[in-house]
A = this chain, B = another copy of it.
Amino acid sequence: MEKGTLYGVSIGPGDPELITVKAMTTISNCKYIATPHTGTGESLALSIVSKAQDLSQKEILLLEFPMTKDKEILAKSHKEAAQFIIDVLDKGEDVAMLNLGDITIYSTFAYVMDILLEKGYDVDLIPGVTSFCASASLLKIGLTTMNEPLHIIPASGIDIKDALKMPGSKVLMKIGRSMPKLIEAVKELNLEDNVYAVENCGLENEKVYKGLDEFDENMGYFTIVVVK
């Protein structure tokens, strides 16, 4: 029997209208929808897509990816997710795996994809709107200036001050507990008027911050900071 295809489907930053036509069609055509879930079994990706199309007839595959930096635990979770998907593909069914933002940027999908490609399965990727592009649109600012570079930087485990010194614009993601350090670096480099942030971009509780005066040390996990 012919094996199914795994579609890696980017669903964008949160606003259901920012899903592409191709992603909508692909989800619609797949009976099986795979999605990461939190400990409680809820899936943010699934709740976003369910506002854009009826998922009531779909088979949902909830994939568990623990929030850890332990490489062995992560590798095990990727292998298990891949096998869970393979079991469906082997029945000749296609699977759409949902991914917030774009599927090629800080996604778990890439690890699962590599396992499937190695085993010879068909994988197709559908790109999407990144959270940093959506944030800049909300802020009504260009992310780049003339021919200057743009740096996308996960804030954890780096020297933030050094990062902010690079030429061009910076987008800081995965800020978590690094916000106090980031605020300190912005002050030291006199960038108070050049920082912007969006919290929970595309979700109901999204909030925009322009300039350091508006910043809050307690901004949440889904905060994106732009430094121009």
**Taking beta carbons and an 8 Å cutoff, which residues of A are in contact with B?**
8, 10, 12-13, 15-22, 24-25, 52, 102-107, 109-110, 113, 117, 123, 125-130, 133-134, 136-138, 140-144, 147-154, 156-158, 163, 174
Contact = CB atoms under 8 A, between A and B. Distances in A.
13 contacts: A8-B137, A21-B24, A104-B142, A105-B133, A105-B142, A105-B150, A106-B144, A110-B142, A125-B140, A129-B129, A130-B130, A130-B133, A152-B152
A25 to B, nearest CB: 7
Contacts of A110: 141-142
A22 B163 CA distance: 34
A104 B18 contact: no
A215 to B, nearest CB: 21
